[in-house]
Amino acid sequence: MSWFSKEPEQQQGPDKVEMAKTEVEMMTDLYNKMVDSCFSKCIANMKEGDLSVGEMSCVDRCVHKYLSAQEVVGSKTKEMEASMMPNGPQGGS
Amino acid sequence: MTSLGELSVREQAELMKHVDELQAKDGVKTFHNVVYRCYDHCVASLRSSKLDAKEVACLQRCQNKYMRLHQRAGLRFQEYQQQRNAPTPT
């Protein structure tokens, strides 16, 4: 029991933290996959150890496009999930 | 998206601890991705079990390139998120 804490942390604390944790995990996972995909799409040769100008702009476009694609697939997935359970969402995230 | 402001100091600390753990794991994952991609790209022949000088040089350039791309993608990723979260100016 902590009588010196200012806020009531017991009630809804863990849920929020768990949600934030999951979010961070999802983000890193997404990021790693994106980097890997953009590497395979944008890097044509290993003549140099640095990114060429062309590769740099490819990476820029790739990141933007990958994240847009993620949104498209995400909203489509939500739609499908919603139509699959007509009784209303139950704890889906 | 959950904002950090909604969490108490103690919850934030817990989250940050998790982020640290995650970063350690993340480094290992990235390392494996680099090895996979660069091996794929730089090693074509299996006539010898030893890496030749060319392959070694290629792997080194590849590793460097991968990390550069990783950094650059990070910046663009942040920019994208900021644009998404920013209130649309009218």
pLDDT digits (tens, 9 = 90+) for B29-52: 999 999 999 999 999 899 999 999
Residues 6+ apart with CB under 8 A from A41: A58, A62
User: Is B55 part of a structural domain of the chain?
Assistant: yes
User: Is B1 part of a structural domain of the chain?
Assistant: no
Q: Chain B residues contacting A, CB < 8 Å? A: 1-2, 4, 6-8, 10-11, 14-15, 18-19, 22, 26, 29-30, 33, 37, 41-42, 58, 60-62, 64-66, 68-70, 72-74, 76-77, 80
User: Is B90 part of a structural domain of the chain?
Assistant: no
CATH architecture of A15-78: Orthogonal Bundle (1.10)
- Per the structure, the complete domain to which residue B51 belongs is given by 7-85
Question: Is a pLDDT exceeding 70 seen at residue A53?
Answer: yes
| pLDDT value, residue A69 | 95
**CATH code of B67's domain:** 1.10.287.810
Q: Provide the Cα torsion A34, B1, A26, A73; round to 10°.
A: -60
Within 10 angstroms of residue B12's Cβ, the number of other Cβ atoms is 15
B77-89 pLDDT tens trace: 999 989 988 876 6
Is the interface score ipTM higher than 0.85? no
Chain B contact present for A34, CB below 8 A:
yes
Looking at the 3D structure of chain B, how many domains does it have? 1
User: Is B25 part of a structural domain of the chain?
Assistant: yes
